[in-house]
Structure 1
Amino acid sequence: MKKSIRNILLGGIFIGGLFSACTPFEKLNTDPTRLNEANPGSFLDPILYNVSSFSWKRFNNYTYELMGNIISYRNTNDIGWWYVSDSEGDGSWSTYYQWLANAKAMEKEAEKLGEVNYQAVSKVLQSYMFDVLVSAFGDVPMEEACRGDEQLYYPVFDKQLAIYKNILQELETANILFDVSGSLKYNTSGDMLYKTVDGEGILKWKKFCNSLRLRVLLKMLNVAEYDARSEIQKMINTPEMYPVFESNSDAALVEISGVYPQEAPLNRANDFTSYRACSEFLVNTLKSWNDPRLPLFVSKQKDDYIGWPAGFAIQPAGKASTPNKALAVAPMKLPLMSYAELELIKAELAQKGIVTLDERIAYENGVRASIEQWGGEIPEGYFNNPVAGYDGTLERIMLQKYFALYFCDYQQWFEYNRTGLPAIPKGDGIPKDQEIPRRFKYPSVLQRTNMKNYQAAKESMGGDDLTIKLIWQQ
Structure 2
Amino acid sequence: MNALKQTILYIFFIMGVAFTSCEDLDDLNTDPTRMQQANPGVFLNPVLYNVSSYNWERYNSFTFHLMQGIVTTNSTGGLGWYYMTDAAGDGTWSTYYRWLNNIKEMEEQAGELNEPNYEAIAKVLKSWLYQILVEGFGDVPMTEAIRGDEKIFTPAFDSQIDIYRTILQELDSANLLFDETQGLRYNPEGELLYHTETPASGATSAGIVKWRKFANSLKLRVLLRVLDVNGLNAKAEIMKLINDPVAYPLFESNDEAALLPVTGVYPLEAPMTRPQDFTSYKALSEFFIDHLKEWNDPRLPIFAQQTTNDGVKSYFGWPSGYNTVPSFNGSLPNQGIVKAPMKLALMTYAEVEFIKAELAQKSIISSDAASHYRKAVEAAITQWGAIVPEGYFDNSETKYDNSLERIMIQKYYALFFCDYQQWFEYNRTGMPEMPVGEGVPIGNVMPRRFKYPSTLQRTNLANYQKAKESMGGDDFNLKLIWQK
Q: When the two structures are superposed, what TM-score results if normalisation uses the length of structure 1? A: 0.92
1:229 aligned residue (235, 248, 268) = 235
Deviations along 1:313-351, whole A, 9 cap, x unmatched?
Answer: 111102100111111111110000000111000000000
Name the CA distance, whole Å, in 2 between partners of 1:104 and 1:351. 39
Does the CA-based 8 Å contact 1:69-1:278 persist in structure 2? yes
Residue of structure 2 equivalent to 1:454: 464
Q: When the two structures are superposed, what TM-score results if normalisation uses the length of structure 2? A: 0.90
Residue of structure 1 equivalent to 2:65: 65
Deviations along 1:42-85, whole A, 9 cap, x unmatched?
Answer: 10000000010000001000000100101012210111100010
Name the CA distance, whole Å, in 2 between partners of 1:305 and 1:73. 16
Deviation of 1:464 (Å): 0.6
Name the SS for the 1:432 alignment partner. Answer: coil
Name the SS for the 2:162 alignment partner. Answer: helix
2:221 aligned residue (190, 215, 222) = 215
Aligned partner letter, 2:482: W
Residue of structure 1 equivalent to 2:315: 305
Does the CA-based 8 Å contact 1:256-1:332 persist in structure 2? yes
Name the SS for the 2:307 alignment partner. Answer: coil
- Tell me the matched-pair count: 441
Instruction: Tell whether 2:246 aligns with 1:240.
Output: yes
Deviation of 1:163 (Å): 0.2
Residue of structure 2 equivalent to 1:174: 174
Name the CA distance, whole Å, in 2 between partners of 1:104 and 1:327. 33
Name the CA distance, whole Å, in 2 between partners of 1:44 and 1:36. 17
Residue of structure 1 equivalent to 2:144: 144
Residue of structure 2 equivalent to 1:269: 275
Deviation of 1:356 (Å): 1.0
1:388 aligned residue (398, 408, 414) = 398
Residue of structure 1 equivalent to 2:408: 398
Deviation of 1:455 (Å): 0.7
Residue of structure 2 equivalent to 1:346: 356
Deviation of 1:36 (Å): 8.0
1:420 aligned residue (430, 433, 447) = 430
1:331 aligned residue (341, 344, 348) = 341
Deviations along 1:298-326, whole A, 9 cap, x unmatched?
Answer: 11113200001111111110210011111
Does the CA-based 8 Å contact 1:93-1:133 persist in structure 2? yes
Question: Where in structure 1 are there 5+ consecutive unaligned residues?
Answer: 1-34
Name the CA distance, whole Å, in 1 between partners of 2:428 and 2:99. 27
Residue of structure 2 equivalent to 1:95: 95
Deviation of 1:270 (Å): 0.5
Does the CA-based 8 Å contact 1:256-1:330 persist in structure 2? yes
Name the CA distance, whole Å, in 2 between partners of 1:200 and 1:232. 25
Question: Where in structure 2 are there 5+ consecutive unaligned residues?
Answer: 1-34, 200-204
Name the CA distance, whole Å, in 2 between partners of 1:36 and 1:217. 42
Q: How does 1:23-62 map to 2 (within 5 A)?
A: 37-62=37-62
Does the CA-based 8 Å contact 1:222-1:473 persist in structure 2? no
Aligned partner letter, 1:53: S
Residue of structure 2 equivalent to 1:116: 116
Aligned partner letter, 2:145: A
Name the SS for the 1:85 alignment partner. Answer: coil
Name the CA distance, whole Å, in 2 between partners of 1:132 and 1:335. 14
Deviations along 1:406-462, whole A, 9 cap, x unmatched?
Answer: 100000000000000001211111123221000000000110001110111111111
Name the CA distance, whole Å, in 1 between partners of 2:74 and 2:186. 48
| 219-228 or 448-457, which deviates more | 219-228
Residue of structure 1 equivalent to 2:86: 86
Name the SS for the 2:314 alignment partner. Answer: coil
Aligned partner letter, 2:382: E
Deviation of 1:104 (Å): 0.6
Deviations along 1:100-147, whole A, 9 cap, x unmatched?
Answer: 000010001100100000000000000000000000000000001111
Name the SS for the 1:350 alignment partner. Answer: helix
Name the CA distance, whole Å, in 1 between partners of 2:400 and 2:331. 28
Which one has the largest radius of gyration?
Answer: 2
Name the CA distance, whole Å, in 2 between partners of 1:274 and 1:243. 43
Instruction: Tell whether 2:434 aligns with 1:439.
Output: no
Name the SS for the 1:433 alignment partner. Answer: coil
Q: CA RMSD in A?
A: 1.1
Name the SS for the 1:262 alignment partner. Answer: coil
